[in-house]
Amino acid sequence: MAAQTSEAAVLIEYKQPLQNRRYPVPENVGDGEALVRIEMAGICGTDIHLWRGELPIPLPVILGHETVGRIERLGPGLTKDWRGLPLAVGDRVTWTSSIVCGECYYCRVKRQSTRCVGRKAYGISYCADEAPHLRGGYAEYILLRAGSSIFRLPDTLETEAVVGSGCALMTAIHGLERAPVRLSDTVIVQGAGPVGLAALALARESGAAKTIVIGAPDHRLALASEFGADHVISIEAVPDAKARRELAHRYAAPFGADIVVEAVGHPSAVPEGLELCRDGGTYLVLGQYANAGDVPMNPHTITRKQLNIVGSWAFEPRHMDQALNLLDGTEWKRLFAKQVTHRFPLARANEALDTVSRHMSGKAVIVP
Amino acid sequence: MAAQTSEAAVLIEYKQPLQNRRYPVPENVGDGEALVRIEMAGICGTDIHLWRGELPIPLPVILGHETVGRIERLGPGLTKDWRGLPLAVGDRVTWTSSIVCGECYYCRVKRQSTRCVGRKAYGISYCADEAPHLRGGYAEYILLRAGSSIFRLPDTLETEAVVGSGCALMTAIHGLERAPVRLSDTVIVQGAGPVGLAALALARESGAAKTIVIGAPDHRLALASEFGADHVISIEAVPDAKARRELAHRYAAPFGADIVVEAVGHPSAVPEGLELCRDGGTYLVLGQYANAGDVPMNPHTITRKQLNIVGSWAFEPRHMDQALNLLDGTEWKRLFAKQVTHRFPLARANEALDTVSRHMSGKAVIVP
Amino acid sequence: MAAQTSEAAVLIEYKQPLQNRRYPVPENVGDGEALVRIEMAGICGTDIHLWRGELPIPLPVILGHETVGRIERLGPGLTKDWRGLPLAVGDRVTWTSSIVCGECYYCRVKRQSTRCVGRKAYGISYCADEAPHLRGGYAEYILLRAGSSIFRLPDTLETEAVVGSGCALMTAIHGLERAPVRLSDTVIVQGAGPVGLAALALARESGAAKTIVIGAPDHRLALASEFGADHVISIEAVPDAKARRELAHRYAAPFGADIVVEAVGHPSAVPEGLELCRDGGTYLVLGQYANAGDVPMNPHTITRKQLNIVGSWAFEPRHMDQALNLLDGTEWKRLFAKQVTHRFPLARANEALDTVSRHMSGKAVIVP
Amino acid sequence: MAAQTSEAAVLIEYKQPLQNRRYPVPENVGDGEALVRIEMAGICGTDIHLWRGELPIPLPVILGHETVGRIERLGPGLTKDWRGLPLAVGDRVTWTSSIVCGECYYCRVKRQSTRCVGRKAYGISYCADEAPHLRGGYAEYILLRAGSSIFRLPDTLETEAVVGSGCALMTAIHGLERAPVRLSDTVIVQGAGPVGLAALALARESGAAKTIVIGAPDHRLALASEFGADHVISIEAVPDAKARRELAHRYAAPFGADIVVEAVGHPSAVPEGLELCRDGGTYLVLGQYANAGDVPMNPHTITRKQLNIVGSWAFEPRHMDQALNLLDGTEWKRLFAKQVTHRFPLARANEALDTVSRHMSGKAVIVP
């Protein structure tokens, strides 16, 4: 039986410690809603951006958009998960962070619902002051809205694999759907964080002949090697961009990578990445989630090198379906689960944020 | 019978007037070569960049890479044009400016021969001091190398239409092959020069529902209207970028263009153009031929708007085939021929260059 | 004010005359529903298949799935049309014939909702014996379900253009989205019925360089010419398939069409059509809506000619959006409106069916 | 030093034993030509079709188009292989079987050179009565024409891997380039011969989530399992097509395969294969190399299931480049090399043919 109140770690002011608050757990769950007791919540790099105030959100907010939990109460009419499997109290589930309107120009006319004008995301877009309050993952309970895309997890897929791959894996699946790796491609990944590692995994799974990861710190490059990167380049050991470029081009002989995936987030990565593509290659700008301002770029490069530059924002429920299928069907689940290196109780959520912001962890999680 | 010498207008020093020189006309034409008496040579915007020294070329050079002439002598073995039609002395022909090696990584492995590592272009890459000298269009004669892609022109297609559409049309065909306009698309073209107008023509021919051209000066915007643009925006009348953007978005309601084609050449057009795309739209960077340095850009835009940015360099012989077919089969030939507004004899080649550099003409041509 | 009962022409037994029956007009309209007074209902070729019993449907059924009418009553919550425009009583509207579940494997995982496992179509899938009965277009009233995709028609777009283009235009838009006509393509259309003419219109609008229509009878080929076909081939004048093929290849020199669109419906058209494609070409099988059994085909042709064969089923609401935009923005609306050559009152619905089944009309419609 | 004459196994009359003949080995090798001493020649399934007279060829012919040998003499000007690597006498090489004209409509305009109108293949298209006779692989020597696509083999790649994968691997690479397997796809392969196994290898390398092979005999299905098939279905154990289909659909739940690859060659495989695709899926018709006549097919299936059916013929040199890269970079070379189960001297070439025609071998080869 659910508790009467739920603890939650709440972002009240940017760059200030989260504060733990209690909110009432709803006794009655509305049509199509689900009350979920949270078992594990991932700390995403985006949470750091949110905490710093780099994206526009309503405060206060309960952070947390990569979450696994167990169904505690099911509202009327909610009998099946996104895949059509029966849902019951006690089921272990995950869900997509976003709900889209399904009716706007982007949802309907252009079928690009990640750009839905009415999109709202758990852990990001809901003000915690407004009932029903519990709309983020850094909490004991979350109340999922009707229309949420809920996925029942198979027993063969452990919670650590789901949270360890996180929204990074779905983001990378969407990105590489838009800019596919083809058999025999040479792929360079800029960034060794969760998105970079997910892109590396997908590149390898898609038949890349050679994969090169550029990033830091060393413990993450070691993870990249464990994920099968043929070469890693440390931006700490090779801080000079020109030297990095020469090294990358040596690995990606003769002319650079067929696909370069940006998973860094700093604007400066983008002009550097354009130079790592072969002529006629593809550059997937996957990591520029926060608006960090302008960077000098030379557009002549785009015309002369005949490049394709592809942006990709977030993901759709079908990418979570693919991600869970991929994890459950391969050895990758073991590797992603191993990424979960740091666990914190809800009371120590600030330590979890700090661990991620200082790049100390594989994946840090909250276990309420 | 061909003359013994050919006059040519030669670029000897950047930013200095072309000088007219005479070179011997070869009596014997080698295997697969063709001697052509030039009837009309177009002045391309790229010629202005070359004249200013903005692209690396060997001096001295006979400029001119958009040319129509008549075959004067045919070398042994050259019996058919690119399409397999018989070639004879006296035939009116045009040809692609470039020859590629056919053997390098880009020609063979990646099938992107516009990026051939050994590509050489008439009017651009050949030093006029080296025999056989006559490798550019601003001359009475040109000697075409074996392996040139020569197209015999049908009688129904007048020289003005071919030179008037110029390399701009092929460049736009290649670009829009890489970033196709789909039926019902809204298309914005930045730039009302030859490439911009060619892109406009192709967008309309491809079923664009709405076309908007942003450019100057007024006589070129009038041409854009004649080419069927639904709206034109003058950068002289609306010099403020923000105001231009608002106006363009009003025309491209509700969220911007499905495709924006950059045909300006100034780096500053690129960040402006990104803002004119709807989310999930495509930006074709078609005009950044000279290296004009960096411009501040915000890569967050690429990720957030989920854009496709496509570069395209030059064109292949098959695009000339398409261009000639398009012209010959439609009313566009009449409109492109009308672009030829200024004619100069070879002796006044400098006036021709000046006319183009001051945007005074539709298309300026040399008639030797 | 709506009448208390609505007349309807009902298919009770296959191949037997429709019978006119009366059904109650609902006084109260449920959440999201709309009661529409029908102004014009098109007779689609599929209606003939349905009448003959060639597709599995529940009898009795009110036929009619291409319809324009005026809103008589709006249910609670239905305030906007599919495009987000406000809806009011008295608005002239059309709507897609089908509603999909939005939850199945095809709707969600594969985003191909035309193959939705729970798809139901007005005029096809609803038994007229079951309340609320009024689910087809051959009637005075129709009750649209919540979730219907309703489009308010602009005043500039006359009813004849909408019904005259019918579901054929949307079907062709979907098909050619899956198998796009590219600029300069040669296109052969098999069939001069509504789908064939719609495909012809779209091919021309998409920049086809040459279009050839093969079909009958002569009055429909005359329409094809009016729609801009470069060549028409009468299957009555040239009944021999080999002779037809030679003629088509002469028009589509040198090697056949880039795209052939099948819009006939007889299985025998398909092996004939494969031979009309150039090697490496595309064959769009757009017209095989009824299961008319097997036809001998040689699969060696598919491998050797390196073909793409594309099937396409029905359409989605966004294709109706495109169709209405296309009509309203071009001269095509005038041409499609002219297709409406025969009008019948509801009492003479059987004559309308007969007219279509004997290929006597451009488009026959019922005006209740 | 090369011998003065070369033995060759020659097909003189269809369905009759090959006869061993001797031809002069040319002392002087022309511009761009290469004389190669053959080390291993594979028996391709196509050779059986040729032997039976099922494809039009000039007799007599020296069969053999999958060959590895060492360069014995190099003609003037032939200094580099297809990749630009230096070539020298003694180098171990392979080469593509075909040479294309580079000038026809398919080579130039449509860039589909596998459909070149002047294409000629070693071991297939050259009459052995005409000098220089030695144009097939079942011989001690072969004289390669100028313009052949020759690949120097790295020491790390053993001859058995190259001949063991044979033209099947390149054929499958081309096919799956035209109909790509995407990450997470379910793939069914019809046929467990060399093309089927190559398609299986590529599907797995491209991230297929599930692979199912339908074929025979058991020793080949065992190879399929060793290549990583998740399920195999024996057409001997399950001879009933309906039962096979039910079994395949059980493995490819819920609705069939995303991609089905036909690698059987019997026309009857094609209608069966269409039923194995999910709606909206892709059917790659890769194995119908010989014209074996018509088969009854229902085109309604194509429209209703909204299928993509893709044909693919042979391969281009760049696919051999990819094949060799793939083999050399992965464990697949070991598995393909293991396919070479039967070796015969040139004198016993007829036994080699017989072994293949009775499906007794993995891969049978001739070692002259």
Q: Does A6 touch chain B (CB under 8 A)?
A: no
Confidence of residue C134 (pLDDT cuts 50, 70, 90): very high
Tell me A59's DSSP state. Answer: S
- Minimal CA separation from A17 to chain D, in Å: 41
Residue C99 has pLDDT above 90, yes or no: yes
pLDDT in tens, C250-278: 999 999 999 999 999 999 999 999 999 99
Burial of A133 from C-beta contacts in 10 A (0-12 / 13-18 / 19+): buried
Q: What distance in Å separates the CA atoms of residue A244 and residue D83, rounded to the nearest whole number?
A: 27
Residue A31 has pLDDT above 80, yes or no: yes
pLDDT at B1: 63
Quote helix, strand, coil % in chain A, to nearest 5. 30, 25, 45
ipTM above 0.90, yes or no: yes
Q: Coil, strand or helix: which one is B166?
A: helix
Mean pLDDT on C234-242: 97
pLDDT in tens, D4-29: 999 999 999 999 999 999 999 999 99
Mean pLDDT on D192-207: 97
Q: What distance in Å separates the CA atoms of residue A320 and residue A98, rounded to the nearest whole number?
A: 11
Over chain D, what is the mean pLDDT?
Answer: 97
pLDDT at A215: 98
Cβ pair C264, C241 in contact under 8 A:
no
**Among A101, A104, A108, which would you mutate to test the C interface (most chain C Cβ atoms within 10 Å of its Cβ)?**
A108
Q: Does C183 touch chain B (CB under 8 A)?
A: yes
Q: Do B297 and A300 touch (CB under 8 A)?
A: no
Return the ∠ at Cα A141 (arms to A136 and A147), rounded to 5°: 65
Provide the number of CB pairs (under 8 Å) joining chain A to chain D: 41
pLDDT in tens, A282-329: 999 999 999 999 999 999 999 999 999 999 999 999 999 999 999 999
Q: Coil, strand or helix: which one is B14?
A: coil
pLDDT at A160: 98
pLDDT in tens, B158-187: 999 999 999 999 999 999 999 999 999 999
Report which residue type is found at B256: G
pLDDT at D56: 87
Confidence of residue B272 (pLDDT cuts 50, 70, 90): very high
Burial of D155 from C-beta contacts in 10 A (0-12 / 13-18 / 19+): exposed
Cβ pair D84, B103 in contact under 8 A:
yes
Q: Does D184 touch chain A (CB under 8 A)?
A: yes
Mean pLDDT on C211-218: 97
Chain D, residues 189-208, CB within 8 A of chain A, namely: 202, 205-207
Mean pLDDT on B42-65: 95
Tokens, residue A15: 């760059």
Which chain B residue has its CA at the smallest distance from C84's CA? B254
Considering only CB atoms, B207 lies closest to which of C184, C206, C209, namely C206
Residue D63 has pLDDT above 80, yes or no: yes
For residue B51, give every residue at least 6 positions away whose Cβ sits within 8 Å of its Cβ, in sequence order, or none: B11, B14, B15, B18, B63, B353, B357
DSSP annotation string for A16-27:
S--EEEEEEPPS
Q: What distance in Å separates the CA atoms of residue A13 and residue A15, rounded to the nearest whole number?
A: 6
Query: CA C126, C127, C130, C136: dihedral to nearest 10 degrees?
Result: 60
Mean pLDDT on C101-129: 96
Q: What distance in Å separates the CA atoms of residue D87 and residue D84, rounded to the nearest whole number?
A: 9
For residue D131, give every residue at least 6 positions away whose Cβ sits within 8 Å of its Cβ, in sequence order, or none: none
Q: Does C115 touch chain D (CB under 8 A)?
A: yes
Cβ pair B172, B342 in contact under 8 A:
no
Mean pLDDT on A44-68: 95
pLDDT in tens, A213-251: 999 999 999 999 999 999 999 999 999 999 999 999 999
Query: CA C288, C291, C293, C297: dihedral to nearest 10 degrees?
Result: 30
Tokens, residue A320: 């979570």
Q: What distance in Å separates the CA atoms of residue A85 and residue A77, rounded to the nearest whole number?
A: 14
pLDDT at C1: 63
Considering only CB atoms, C308 lies closest to which of D278, D297, D308, namely D308
Cβ pair A36, A70 in contact under 8 A:
yes
- Minimal CA separation from B108 to chain C, in Å: 20
Burial of A68 from C-beta contacts in 10 A (0-12 / 13-18 / 19+): buried
Residue D156 has pLDDT above 70, yes or no: yes
Considering only CB atoms, A109 lies closest to which of C105, C111, C318, namely C318
pLDDT in tens, B55-83: 889 999 999 999 999 999 999 999 999 99
Confidence of residue A1 (pLDDT cuts 50, 70, 90): low
pLDDT in tens, C329-356: 999 999 999 999 999 999 999 999 999 9
Q: What distance in Å separates the CA atoms of residue A167 and residue A163, rounded to the nearest whole number?
A: 8
Over chain A, what is the mean pLDDT?
Answer: 97
For residue B162, give every residue at least 6 positions away whose Cβ sits within 8 Å of its Cβ, in sequence order, or none: B68, B94, B153, B324, B327
**pTM of this prediction exceeds 0.95:** yes
Residue count of chain B = 368
Q: What distance in Å separates the CA atoms of residue C186 and residue C209, rounded to the nearest whole number?
A: 6
Backbone torsions φ then ψ of A225, nearest 5 degrees: -65, -40
Q: Do A313 and B306 touch (CB under 8 A)?
A: yes
- Look at residues B170, B94, B81 and name the one whose alpha carbon lies nearest to residue B137: B94
Confidence of residue D3 (pLDDT cuts 50, 70, 90): confident
pLDDT at D313: 97
User: Which spans in chain D are helix H?
Assistant: 45-52, 105-108, 159-178, 194-205, 218-226, 241-251, 269-274, 300-304, 317-329, 332-338, 349-357
Task: Using a pLDDT cut of 90, give the percent of chain B over it.
Answer: 98
Tokens, residue B220: 């070129």
pLDDT at D55: 87
